[in-house]
Amino acid sequence: MEFNPEKFTGISKQLRSEESRESGRQELADLMAVLVGEDREYFGDSELREKIENAVASFPAKERRNIISELQNITKEAGWKTAHDIVAGALDLDKEIERTVGQREQIEIYRHTVRRPENIQHFKDFMNPERIVYGTESETARRVLHLVHEKLACPKIETTVPSSELIKYASNAFLATKISFINEIANVCESVGADIDIVSYGMGLDSRIGHKFLKAGLGYGGSCFPKDVRALQSISGENGYQFQLLKVVIDVNNHQRWKFFHKIKNILGDLNNKEITIWGLAFKANTDDIRESIAIDLALKLIEEGAKVRVYDPKAMENACKVLGQENVVYFFNALDACHGADALIIGTEWPEFQEIDIVQLRNVMKSQIIFDGRNLLDKNKLLNLDFKYYSIGR
């Protein structure tokens, strides 16, 4: 069958019901992608196998020999269990999958299993990648993937499955390392009286270093960096190598948020019944994702200490409510409203709108003009000139 790169069918993370599956079979696709859901915790080989089996079994038999499983971020922290290994096990002809998949089509599926581990977050990124990595031993899969991506103008790396997965893990682990490094430098800046903004700017002018991921703050969070750093550490350990640097990267990242919390507590004293506002709950700006959000961790710790927490985030309020609950938290839909009568303000996410806030109005609505800026977002000099007590990181 001639491959048509314009026809592409993706199977969503949550498998459709049997009725919708039937209705979705009107037009056969040349390429199908089995997308396995990205859970916060690794869900284990057996459950993953069941997900793959169910997904594959939902395809008509004549479509199965054209399937390429494109599995993203499923290895988690399970050691060197590559996507290829898990899929190969799930589709082994000699296993019980034979009666689910039927006949011998699964051999074709196994042979054409690939790993393209780039985690695409936005359509813009998808259409404008910096590189595409193919990890496969199959010439057919390599040819098909080349046709699918041939119009994307970027380098394309064809390699083995282990190498492709390590490209993904190593890339994110390296960026996480830069973040932990600059946060350590920020802590040194506080000790010696230097300004981390100036230090990181000077470092970034060196073309070998660059400015990206040299912004001091509370540390990294989200669905990728924490998971991929731990996964690479686990993969190394399971294969007899102790990746000491990654252990330090993780420790520094965990320490950074609690160092900041202790700064808050040391300055405010007893937090019981203190009215504390948090601006920003997402793990970063321009998303509603709160997975491993440091701002959420701080909010939970403040609640534990008896503080009355008020929160505002442009996008992440609904998700945050599921974690923080409503008993000890008040949710606001305006940043200034959240600060009325506040004893202190904490900036947990670097939303640009926080930089546009009228700081004179902010001063007037707060009970105590104390700001803890966990993202070094605000203009320190302007705030000090208006008699704010302003505490940031490394400056």
Positions marked active-site: 224
C-beta atoms surrounding 40 within 10 Å: 11
Asked if residues 153 and 102 have their Cβ atoms less than 8 Å apart, the reply is: no
Cα torsion at 195, 262, 356, 315 (round to 10°)? 130
Strand partners, 115: 135
For tokens 């006949």, the residue is 103
- Of 362, 311, 309, 312, which is closest to residue 340 (Cα–Cα)? 362
Q: Quote the tokens at residue 35.
A: 């997308």
C-beta atoms surrounding 386 within 10 Å: 13
In order, the DSSP letters of 157-214 are: EEE-HHHHHHHHHHHHHHHHHHHHHHHHHHHHHHHHT--HHHHHHHHHTSTTT-STT-
In order, the DSSP letters of 327-377 are: SSEEE-SSTTGGGTT-SEEEE-S--GGGGGS-HHHHHHH-SS-EEEETT--
Quote the distance between the C-alpha of residue 122 and its chain's center: 13
For tokens 């669905």, the residue is 223
H or E stretch at 156: strand 156-159
Residues 357 and 215: their CA atoms lie apart, in Å, by 21
For tokens 């839909």, the residue is 333
Strand partners, 389: 370
Residues 275 and 284: their CA atoms lie apart, in Å, by 24
DSSP 3-state of 231 = helix
DSSP state for residue 282 in the 8-state scheme: S
